[in-house]
Amino acid sequence: MDRRFYGGFTAMGNPEQIIKAGEATRFSSDNQPEDSPRNTGPISKYLREIGDATELVMTLKITKPDKNGVPTTKESTHRIETIGGATIKKMLATRLYQQAINGDTTAAKIILDRTEGRVPQQLNLGNSDGSPLDIRDMSSLTIEQLRAIANGEA
């Protein structure tokens, strides 16, 4: 019987049998776990949902081994409540403005990019000296002429 080494496993049989045997566990759009992060939608949707809230309660569970190697779990709950019914987005924007006023240039750049639009980048499509590009039809040139141009001789 044919023995081959495949990705850390020794498989018996011919390659066609191995491929056929792996079809049931192969990843595909149909073979995805029910609670896959791919099934929750884009993160921007989740962030908008949180941003529109006026109250956010998070429970964190941290499990790690103690000195004896026994897993122990600590749980803590954190509550964020906005003032006066403002959304979390508005509170974040207010905090961003506070940081910019206190001299944080990154915060100031974010605010200006979002409110005024990004500054357009200059794009020079000409030669390095600023002159326009010289566009020539080279389809009728011979190989020797093209080589001379490529070598800077023409």
What is the crossing angle of helices 88-101 and 105-116, to 10°?
A: 120
Query: Would you say residue 96 has pLDDT above 80?
Result: yes
Query: Would you say residue 97 has pLDDT above 90?
Result: yes
pLDDT of residue 31: 66
Query: Would you say residue 24 has pLDDT above 80?
Result: no
State the burial class of residue 11 (Cβ atoms within 10 Å of its Cβ: 0-12, 13-18, 19+). Answer: middle
Query: Would you say residue 98 has pLDDT above 80?
Result: yes
pLDDT digit string (tens) for 29-38? 666 666 665 5
CA pair distance 71, 65, nearest whole angstrom: 4
When pLDDT is averaged across residues 2-14 and rounded to a whole number, the result is 52
Query: Would you say residue 115 has pLDDT above 80?
Result: yes
The pair of structure tokens assigned to 88 is: 């979390």
pLDDT of residue 2: 47
Domain ranges of the chain: 1-31
CA pair distance 45, 34, nearest whole angstrom: 19
pLDDT digit string (tens) for 37-88? 555 677 888 888 888 888 888 898 999 998 898 999 999 998 888 888 888 8
Q: What is the mean pLDDT of the chain?
A: 81
Cross-strand partners of 138: none
pLDDT of residue 112: 93
* Number of residues assigned to the chain: 154
- Which distant-in-sequence residues (6+ apart) come within 8 Å of 144 by Cβ? none
Question: What is residue 31's DSSP assignment?
Answer: S
CA pair distance 112, 114, nearest whole angstrom: 5
